[in-house]
Structure 1
Amino acid sequence: MLIVNARLITNDKDNTLYDDGAVYIKGNVIEEVGTTAELKAKYSDDELFDAKGRVVMPGMICAHSHIYSTYARGMGVSEPTDNFYHVLENQWWRLDRLLTLEDVKLNGLTTFMESIQLGVTTLIDHHSGPNSVEGSLFALGDAAKETGMRASLCYEVSDRDGMDIRDKEIKENVDFIKACQKDDHGDMLKGLFGLHASFTLSDDTLNKSAEAMAGVYDGYHVHVAEGIEDEWDTIKTHGKRVVERFEDFGMITENTLAVHGVHVNEREMDILKHHNTPVIFNPESNMNNAVGCPPILRMLEKGITVGLGTDAYTNDMFESMKVANILLAHNACDPTKGFGETLQLQFKNNPKIVSRYFNRPLGVIEKGAYADIITLDYNPFTPVTANNWGGHSLFGFTGRLVNDSIINGDVVMKDKIITKVDQAEVHAKSSERVKAIWKCM
C-alpha cells in the first residue's frame, strides 16, 4: 500500500517533515518514506491510499489505561468519593466486582474502537474484575484482535477480594504472559504481570507473585505511590517506602512500568533510575483524584524515562498531552516548563518504552518500523514545519480530527468508520448491559 499526498510528520531521528510526502507499506512494515512524486514513480502498481493533503503521522501510544472503567461514563455512585481511598472503594472497586466476561469483552471492544477513532494504535492496559478473573485477559486479547489494536495487557493482583481470587489473578497473569510468549499474534499482543498497589498487597502475595514469575518474565505493571495513603501504609506496615518495597521483591526492572509516582522521594527516584524503570504520568487522572502532581520535571532531570498515559480518564492522547503541558507549568510556577517535556514524553519516551515489548519500532514513520499510522483532517491557518509541528500537536491536533487509522499495515478505520467491527452493534449491547451495572452502583 502506498500512502500519497500527505503532510507527513515522521518523528524520525532527523525530525523529517514532507509537505507532500508518501509512505510505502509492505505487508505490516514501512518499506520507504519520501515524496509523493518519488514513491509514485517507484510503486505505481500498488494500492494507493490518498491522504488528500491531510496530516499523516505515527499512531499515538497510550502507556497506561484501565479498560474495566468503561461503564463509568455517565455513571453516578451512591457512596462518598471525598478522598482517594473512597474513590477506589466506593467507585472503582464496586464497579470492577460487577463485571462478567461478557462485560470485559464489551469494554475491550468499545475502548479499542474509541481509541482507534482518536488515533491511538498501541495501548497498554491494567485490568481488574475479581468476579470474572479467569479468561479475562484472553477476552481483552480477543477484543484487540477483532478491532486490530496493538496491546499489552495485565491483571491487577490484589488482596482486597480474598486469597482464592488473588490466586486466580496471579494465574491469569502468568497464563496470559506464557500464551503471548508462545503466540503473540504477529507481535500484536503482549503481557505484563499486573499488581494493584503496595497498600493492597501483602508480603505473602508479593512472594507468590514473584515465585509464579520466576523463569517466566520480569515485567510488572504497578501503581506506585499514586495517593499519599500508599506511602503512609507501606512505611507503617513494612518500614520502607513503596519503591523500596517492590525492589526488595525484584519487581523494579527495566521491563516494569511504575505508574503515577506522585509521592515518590529522591531515593525512590534513584532506585527507578538505577533499574532503568519507566514511570508513567497520567495528568488528568491525578488532577481528578486530587492526589497531586508527580515530580516529573525532577524525574527527567535524573534521566528517568517518563511516559504518558491516561489512566482511562480519556482515550485521547492529544488531550492527555494538553493537560500534561498545563499541569507541569502550573505546578512548577514556571511557564517555560511543560511544553518540551510533554512532547518528549509522548513522541520520544512512549516509543522507547514500547520498544521494550515489541520487536520493531513504533511511534515513528521510517523504514523498518511497524506501519501504525494515522491521518488528521487538520487545516492549519499557520505553517506546519519540522520545527513547530510539536506546537501544532499540543494546540491544534485533537483525537476528533483523526480521519483514518492504520495498524500493522491494516486499515482499521477509514473516513472515521471502524472497518473490522460493527460499532453500532457493540455500542447497543454495551448500552443495554450497563443498565444492570448502574443499578448496583
Structure 2
Amino acid sequence: MILLGNGKLITRDENNPFIEDGCVCVKDNFVWDIGKTKDMKQKYPNEEFIDAQQGLIMPGLINTHHHIYSSFARGLSIDGYNPQKFTEILEGMWWKIDESLTLDDVKYSAYVTYIDCIKNGVTTVFDHHASYGDTSDSLSQISSVAHEVGIRTSLCYEISDRKGRSEMEKAVKENINFIDYCKSDTRDMQKGMMGLHASFTLSDETLCYIAENMPADTGYHIHVSEGIEDLYHSMKKYNKRVINRLYDMDILGPRTLAIHCIHINPLEMDILKETNTMVVNNPESNMGNAVGCTPIFKILDKGIVLGLGTDGYTSDMLESMKVANILHKHNSCNPSAAWNEVPQMLFENNATIANRFYNRPLGTIKKGAYADVIIVDYDSYTPLNSNNYNSHILFGVNGRNVKTTMINGKLLMKDYKLIDIDEAKINAKARELSSILWKKF
C-alpha cells in the first residue's frame, strides 16, 4: 500500500472534487481510499508515504490521439520540402517517414515518446501508428515497450490504399493480430482498435474488406475531414460528405474515434451524435498544418463527446490545453469562450473516451478507480480552491511541473527521476537510429 498526500487533491470526481490537504491510498493497482492526509496516515500508519509538499495531486492525464512514429521527425529538414497544402505535408514528409521506418525505429520511437508522456504526467495514450516500411509486428514492438515502461495504451495501425492492395491487407492483419492479442491482456493495460487513415485514402472496396474482417467488440480510429481535400474528395467521388460516407459504410459508433472533424457541418454533427461517435480535437497540429479550426462549440452543443489530443505535436497535454484555450478564443473572436469547454475536453471527455475501453475508471481519483496518479510541483502564490483550480492549471502549470507519475499502482517517476528506465541509453540509441533514417531522405 502507498499513500500520496500532503497536497491539494483534485479528484475529478463530481461527488468529491477537491480536498485541500488530500491523500490517496493506493493498494495493488487501484485507489483504495482517499481523505485528509492526517486521517489517512492515522488509518494506515505503517504504509509508504509520498509527500506532495503542498503541490497538486491529480489523476493521470489521457491523450486520446497521438502519433508515436512521428517522434524521429524532430529537427528533420527535407530538401525541397515547401508544402502549400495539407496533402503536400503528407506526401512530402509524413508518408516518406513512415515508409522508411524499420522495426527498430518503431521500437525506439515508442521508447522516447512513452518516456516523454510519463515525464509530462500522461498515463494513458491512444496511438495511431504507421510504418509502411515495416508493417508486420510493428504494433507488437510498440506494445512491448509500453509493457516494459509500464504505461497504459491503445494502439492501432493506419490502413490506407496508398501503398496498394497487398500493403492494405497487411495493415488490416496487423490490426487484427493486435486486437486479438489484447483480448488476453488480463492486466487491462493495452487495447487494440482498427486504425484507418482517412476517407480520401480508403476506397469503398477497402472499407468493405475491413468490415468483413472486423473483430467484434472494438472500434475504429480514423482521421476525419482534417484537410479540406478530404471533404472535396468525398464530394467529388462519392457525392456525399465525409461523415455521411462513413455512416453509410458503418464506420461510426460508440467505440469509434473520429479525429479532427474540422470541415463538418451541422447535419454531420447530428450523425455523430446519433451514432454516439467520439471526436478528438488537436489544436496545435491543426494550427501547424494550417488546416482550419474544429468547431468545438457547435460539436459540444450537440452533446457529442469531444476530447483533446496532440496528433504527435507534443506529449504535453497541459500545453495542448493552453493552445486550445487561446485558439478557440481567437477563432471565435470571443475572449469569454473556452474557459469551461477546454477543461471539459481534457479532464472530463478524455476520461469518458478512455472509460469506453477500460474496465475500471480512468481520469478520476475515487475508490475503485485505477491508480493512475500524478503529483504536480506547484506552489501557488494566489488562493487555490475548488472554484479556480482549472485556471491555476491553465496559467501556472505545464507538463514538466509533473514530479511524480504512478500508473496502475506502480511508480514510474518519483521526484523527477524515472524509475528503472535508462533514458540516457535509450536517447543515445534513438539518435543513432534517427540519423540513419534521416540519411534516407
TM beyond 0.5: yes
Equivalent position of 1:175 in the other structure = 177
Equivalent position of 2:439 in the other structure = 439
d(CA) in 2 for partners of 1:159, 1:375: 44
Say whether residues 1:17 and 2:1 are aligned partners: no
d(CA) in 2 for partners of 1:420, 1:131: 31
Asked if the contact 2:224/2:258 (under 8 Å) is kept, the reply is yes
What is the one-letter code of the residue matched to 1:192? Answer: M
Q: Secondary structure at the match of 2:53?
A: coil
Equivalent position of 2:120 in the other structure = 118
d(CA) in 2 for partners of 1:107, 1:337: 36
Q: Report the Cα offset of residue 184 of structure 1.
A: 2.0
Q: Secondary structure at the match of 2:65?
A: strand
Asked if the contact 2:101/2:134 (under 8 Å) is kept, the reply is yes
Q: Report the Cα offset of residue 218 of structure 1.
A: 4.2
d(CA) in 2 for partners of 1:410, 1:97: 36
Q: Secondary structure at the match of 2:364?
A: coil
Asked if the contact 2:11/2:365 (under 8 Å) is kept, the reply is yes
Equivalent position of 2:28 in the other structure = 27
Equivalent position of 2:270 in the other structure = 270
- The alignment covers a number of residue pairs equal to 439
Moved over 2 A (4+): 215-218
Equivalent position of 2:212 in the other structure = 211
Q: Secondary structure at the match of 1:221?
A: strand
d(CA) in 2 for partners of 1:216, 1:9: 37
d(CA) in 1 for partners of 2:212, 2:172: 10
Equivalent position of 1:307 in the other structure = 307
Report the identity percentage: 48
Q: Secondary structure at the match of 2:340?
A: helix
Moved more, 321-330 or 9-18: 9-18
Q: Report the Cα offset of residue 440 of structure 1.
A: 2.2
RMSD: 1.0
Equivalent position of 1:161 in the other structure = 163
Equivalent position of 1:188 in the other structure = 189
Q: Secondary structure at the match of 2:108?
A: helix
Equivalent position of 1:291 in the other structure = 291
Q: Deviations over 1:236-277 (max 9, x none)?
A: 111111111111121101000000000011111111000111
Query: What are the ranges of 5 or more consecutive residues in structure 1 without an aligned counterpart?
Result: none
d(CA) in 2 for partners of 1:401, 1:57: 12
Asked if the contact 1:327/1:338 (under 8 Å) is kept, the reply is no
d(CA) in 2 for partners of 1:408, 1:300: 31
d(CA) in 1 for partners of 2:222, 2:17: 36
Equivalent position of 1:138 in the other structure = 140
Q: Report the Cα offset of residue 420 of structure 1.
A: 2.9
d(CA) in 2 for partners of 1:268, 1:178: 32
Q: Secondary structure at the match of 1:339?
A: coil
Q: Report the Cα offset of residue 80 of structure 1.
A: 2.6
d(CA) in 2 for partners of 1:4, 1:127: 37
Equivalent position of 2:66 in the other structure = 65
Equivalent position of 1:421 in the other structure = 421
Equivalent position of 2:254 in the other structure = 254
Equivalent position of 2:152 in the other structure = 150
Q: Report the Cα offset of residue 15 of structure 1.
A: 5.0
What is the one-letter code of the residue matched to 1:175? Answer: N
d(CA) in 2 for partners of 1:384, 1:60: 20
Query: What are the ranges of 5 or more consecutive residues in structure 2 without an aligned counterpart?
Result: none
Q: Report the Cα offset of residue 62 of structure 1.
A: 0.4
Q: Report the Cα offset of residue 4 of structure 1.
A: 2.1
Q: Report the Cα offset of residue 397 of structure 1.
A: 1.1
Equivalent position of 1:408 in the other structure = 408
d(CA) in 1 for partners of 2:218, 2:186: 21
d(CA) in 2 for partners of 1:234, 1:440: 34
Shift in CA distance, 15/325, structure 1 to aligned 2, threshold 3 Å: farther
Q: Report the Cα offset of residue 365 of structure 1.
A: 0.7
